[in-house]
Amino acid sequence: MGDGGPIRPGRPTAASGSIGARSARFAVRVLVVLAAGVMGAGFLGWRAGILVAALAALTYLLLATVAPRVPAPYGRGRLLRALQRQGYHVVPVVMSRHLAVGPGGVYLLETRIWRHAVSREDDDWRIGAVPAARAMERLVGHANRVDRALRLSEDRPGVTVVPVIAVAGRLPEPVMRSGRAIIARPRSAVRYILERPEVLRVEEVDEITEAAIERLAEE
Protein backbone atom coordinates (compact mmCIF):
# COMPACT_ATOMS: atom_id res chain seq x y z
CA MET A 1 0.00 0.00 0.00
CA GLY A 2 2.15 2.82 -1.23
CA ASP A 3 1.89 6.32 0.00
CA GLY A 4 -0.29 8.25 -2.38
CA GLY A 5 1.19 11.57 -1.35
CA PRO A 6 -0.07 14.12 1.10
CA ILE A 7 -3.71 13.95 1.99
CA ARG A 8 -5.59 17.00 0.70
CA PRO A 9 -8.75 18.15 2.37
CA GLY A 10 -11.78 17.48 0.21
CA ARG A 11 -14.20 20.18 -0.94
CA PRO A 12 -17.04 20.86 1.45
CA THR A 13 -20.27 19.22 0.36
CA ALA A 14 -23.47 21.13 -0.36
CA ALA A 15 -24.96 19.90 2.91
CA SER A 16 -22.06 21.12 5.01
CA GLY A 17 -22.12 24.45 3.18
CA SER A 18 -25.84 24.81 3.84
CA ILE A 19 -25.38 23.99 7.53
CA GLY A 20 -22.56 26.50 7.75
CA ALA A 21 -24.68 29.22 6.15
CA ARG A 22 -27.58 28.54 8.51
CA SER A 23 -25.23 28.63 11.49
CA ALA A 24 -23.79 31.94 10.33
CA ARG A 25 -27.28 33.44 9.88
CA PHE A 26 -28.31 32.20 13.32
CA ALA A 27 -25.18 33.69 14.90
CA VAL A 28 -25.78 37.05 13.21
CA ARG A 29 -29.38 37.12 14.42
CA VAL A 30 -28.33 36.29 17.97
CA LEU A 31 -25.83 39.14 17.87
CA VAL A 32 -28.49 41.52 16.54
CA VAL A 33 -30.91 40.52 19.32
CA LEU A 34 -28.20 40.97 21.97
CA ALA A 35 -27.12 44.31 20.52
CA ALA A 36 -30.72 45.55 20.45
CA GLY A 37 -31.16 44.49 24.07
CA VAL A 38 -27.96 46.19 25.19
CA MET A 39 -28.90 49.43 23.41
CA GLY A 40 -32.39 49.36 24.88
CA ALA A 41 -30.98 48.77 28.36
CA GLY A 42 -28.45 51.56 27.92
CA PHE A 43 -31.06 54.13 26.92
CA LEU A 44 -34.17 53.03 28.81
CA GLY A 45 -33.14 50.59 31.53
CA TRP A 46 -32.73 46.84 31.81
CA ARG A 47 -36.46 46.06 31.56
CA ALA A 48 -36.68 47.92 28.27
CA GLY A 49 -33.55 46.11 27.09
CA ILE A 50 -35.15 42.73 27.75
CA LEU A 51 -38.34 43.84 25.97
CA VAL A 52 -36.44 45.10 22.91
CA ALA A 53 -34.41 41.88 22.71
CA ALA A 54 -37.57 39.77 23.03
CA LEU A 55 -39.32 41.74 20.27
CA ALA A 56 -36.31 41.37 17.97
CA ALA A 57 -36.22 37.62 18.60
CA LEU A 58 -39.98 37.38 17.98
CA THR A 59 -39.57 39.22 14.67
CA TYR A 60 -37.01 36.70 13.45
CA LEU A 61 -39.23 33.84 14.62
CA LEU A 62 -42.22 35.20 12.69
CA LEU A 63 -40.12 35.76 9.58
CA ALA A 64 -38.94 32.16 9.71
CA THR A 65 -42.30 30.52 10.42
CA VAL A 66 -45.14 32.72 9.16
CA ALA A 67 -43.69 34.58 6.17
CA PRO A 68 -43.09 31.45 4.02
CA ARG A 69 -46.79 30.56 4.39
CA VAL A 70 -48.11 33.97 3.30
CA PRO A 71 -49.15 33.87 -0.38
CA ALA A 72 -47.30 36.14 -2.75
CA PRO A 73 -49.08 39.33 -3.84
CA TYR A 74 -51.49 38.73 -6.70
CA GLY A 75 -49.68 40.82 -9.28
CA ARG A 76 -50.20 41.53 -12.96
CA GLY A 77 -48.60 38.33 -14.26
CA ARG A 78 -50.63 36.03 -12.02
CA LEU A 79 -53.84 37.89 -12.85
CA LEU A 80 -53.35 37.43 -16.59
CA ARG A 81 -52.17 33.82 -16.34
CA ALA A 82 -55.18 32.89 -14.19
CA LEU A 83 -57.50 34.15 -16.93
CA GLN A 84 -55.54 32.47 -19.71
CA ARG A 85 -55.76 29.11 -17.95
CA GLN A 86 -59.56 29.41 -18.06
CA GLY A 87 -59.81 30.02 -21.80
CA TYR A 88 -59.38 33.80 -21.94
CA HIS A 89 -57.21 35.39 -24.61
CA VAL A 90 -55.17 38.36 -23.38
CA VAL A 91 -54.21 41.10 -25.82
CA PRO A 92 -51.83 43.91 -24.73
CA VAL A 93 -53.40 47.27 -25.57
CA VAL A 94 -51.16 49.90 -24.01
CA MET A 95 -48.40 49.70 -21.43
CA SER A 96 -50.54 48.87 -18.38
CA ARG A 97 -53.79 47.78 -20.02
CA HIS A 98 -54.79 44.42 -21.43
CA LEU A 99 -57.92 43.21 -23.17
CA ALA A 100 -59.21 39.87 -21.87
CA VAL A 101 -61.60 38.05 -24.21
CA GLY A 102 -63.30 34.86 -23.09
CA PRO A 103 -66.56 33.02 -22.50
CA GLY A 104 -67.75 35.59 -19.95
CA GLY A 105 -67.26 38.61 -22.19
CA VAL A 106 -64.68 41.28 -22.98
CA TYR A 107 -62.80 43.13 -20.24
CA LEU A 108 -60.33 46.01 -20.37
CA LEU A 109 -57.98 45.41 -17.44
CA GLU A 110 -56.03 48.22 -15.84
CA THR A 111 -53.18 46.01 -14.64
CA ARG A 112 -51.21 48.78 -12.95
CA ILE A 113 -52.30 47.99 -9.40
CA TRP A 114 -53.55 51.00 -7.43
CA ARG A 115 -52.07 50.80 -3.92
CA HIS A 116 -54.78 52.83 -2.20
CA ALA A 117 -57.70 52.03 0.05
CA VAL A 118 -61.20 52.42 -1.34
CA SER A 119 -63.67 54.28 0.86
CA ARG A 120 -67.09 55.87 0.65
CA GLU A 121 -67.56 59.60 1.18
CA ASP A 122 -71.08 61.02 0.98
CA ASP A 123 -72.55 59.27 -2.08
CA ASP A 124 -69.28 58.65 -3.89
CA TRP A 125 -66.58 56.01 -3.75
CA ARG A 126 -62.99 57.19 -3.55
CA ILE A 127 -59.69 55.48 -4.37
CA GLY A 128 -57.31 57.07 -1.92
CA ALA A 129 -58.19 60.77 -2.13
CA VAL A 130 -59.43 60.57 -5.74
CA PRO A 131 -63.13 60.07 -6.57
CA ALA A 132 -63.57 56.64 -8.13
CA ALA A 133 -65.53 58.12 -11.04
CA ARG A 134 -62.60 60.39 -11.91
CA ALA A 135 -60.09 57.55 -11.54
CA MET A 136 -62.19 55.41 -13.87
CA GLU A 137 -63.02 58.15 -16.38
CA ARG A 138 -60.04 57.61 -18.67
CA LEU A 139 -60.33 53.82 -18.47
CA VAL A 140 -64.04 53.96 -19.34
CA GLY A 141 -63.27 56.28 -22.26
CA HIS A 142 -60.64 53.84 -23.48
CA ALA A 143 -63.12 50.96 -23.14
CA ASN A 144 -65.61 52.91 -25.29
CA ARG A 145 -62.98 53.40 -28.01
CA VAL A 146 -62.12 49.69 -27.94
CA ASP A 147 -65.83 48.86 -28.14
CA ARG A 148 -66.19 51.01 -31.26
CA ALA A 149 -63.01 49.65 -32.84
CA LEU A 150 -64.25 46.07 -32.41
CA ARG A 151 -67.84 47.02 -33.36
CA LEU A 152 -69.16 44.91 -30.50
CA SER A 153 -72.39 46.88 -30.07
CA GLU A 154 -73.16 46.45 -33.78
CA ASP A 155 -72.11 42.84 -34.28
CA ARG A 156 -72.94 41.40 -30.85
CA PRO A 157 -75.71 43.32 -29.07
CA GLY A 158 -75.46 43.01 -25.31
CA VAL A 159 -71.69 42.48 -25.30
CA THR A 160 -69.66 45.51 -24.27
CA VAL A 161 -66.13 46.09 -23.04
CA VAL A 162 -66.17 46.15 -19.22
CA PRO A 163 -63.42 48.26 -17.61
CA VAL A 164 -61.74 46.64 -14.59
CA ILE A 165 -59.38 48.43 -12.23
CA ALA A 166 -57.39 46.47 -9.66
CA VAL A 167 -56.56 47.95 -6.27
CA ALA A 168 -54.27 46.61 -3.57
CA GLY A 169 -55.78 48.58 -0.70
CA ARG A 170 -58.72 47.76 1.53
CA LEU A 171 -62.17 47.37 0.01
CA PRO A 172 -65.56 47.56 1.76
CA GLU A 173 -66.82 44.82 -0.58
CA PRO A 174 -64.98 42.16 -2.64
CA VAL A 175 -66.20 43.66 -5.93
CA MET A 176 -67.51 47.19 -6.38
CA ARG A 177 -69.07 49.02 -9.31
CA SER A 178 -68.55 52.57 -10.49
CA GLY A 179 -71.02 52.92 -13.33
CA ARG A 180 -70.22 50.12 -15.77
CA ALA A 181 -66.70 49.69 -14.39
CA ILE A 182 -65.50 47.15 -11.85
CA ILE A 183 -63.20 47.90 -8.90
CA ALA A 184 -61.70 44.92 -7.07
CA ARG A 185 -58.54 43.43 -5.67
CA PRO A 186 -56.73 41.35 -8.33
CA ARG A 187 -57.80 37.96 -6.98
CA SER A 188 -61.43 39.09 -6.62
CA ALA A 189 -61.37 40.59 -10.12
CA VAL A 190 -60.29 37.24 -11.57
CA ARG A 191 -62.97 35.41 -9.59
CA TYR A 192 -65.63 37.88 -10.72
CA ILE A 193 -64.72 37.51 -14.39
CA LEU A 194 -64.58 33.71 -14.24
CA GLU A 195 -68.00 33.54 -12.55
CA ARG A 196 -69.75 35.50 -15.33
CA PRO A 197 -72.24 33.46 -17.38
CA GLU A 198 -71.14 32.42 -20.84
CA VAL A 199 -72.01 35.01 -23.48
CA LEU A 200 -69.47 34.16 -26.18
CA ARG A 201 -68.85 30.91 -28.00
CA VAL A 202 -65.31 29.69 -28.66
CA GLU A 203 -65.39 30.84 -32.28
CA GLU A 204 -66.64 34.28 -31.23
CA VAL A 205 -63.82 34.58 -28.70
CA ASP A 206 -61.32 33.78 -31.45
CA GLU A 207 -62.90 36.29 -33.87
CA ILE A 208 -62.90 39.13 -31.33
CA THR A 209 -59.32 38.35 -30.32
CA GLU A 210 -58.13 38.43 -33.94
CA ALA A 211 -59.98 41.71 -34.52
CA ALA A 212 -58.42 43.18 -31.37
CA ILE A 213 -54.91 42.23 -32.47
CA GLU A 214 -55.46 43.83 -35.89
CA ARG A 215 -57.50 46.93 -35.06
CA LEU A 216 -56.12 47.96 -31.69
CA ALA A 217 -52.57 47.86 -33.03
CA GLU A 218 -53.62 50.58 -35.46
CA GLU A 219 -54.77 52.98 -32.71
Neighbours of 12 (CB within 10 A): 11
Average pLDDT rounded to a whole number, residues 57-61: 73
185 vs 116: CA distance, rounded Å = 11
Q: Do residues 163 and 180 touch, judged by C-beta distance below 8 A?
A: yes
pLDDT at 32 over 90: no
What does the pLDDT read at residue 12?
34
pTM over 0.75: no
Beta bridge partners of residue 163, listed in sequence order: 108
Average pLDDT rounded to a whole number, residues 15-33: 60
Confidence of residue 217 (pLDDT cuts 50, 70, 90): low
Which run of H or of E encompasses 100?
A: strand 97-102
Residue 165 three-state SS: strand
Q: Do residues 79 and 109 touch, judged by C-beta distance below 8 A?
A: yes
The residue with greater pLDDT, 23 or 208, is: 208
How do residues 131-171 score in pLDDT, each as one tens digit? 777 777 888 999 999 999 999 888 888 899 999 988 876 77
Question: What's the first-to-final CA gap in the chain, in angstroms?
Answer: 83
Q: Do residues 20 and 28 touch, judged by C-beta distance below 8 A?
A: no
Fill in the amino acid letter for 46: W
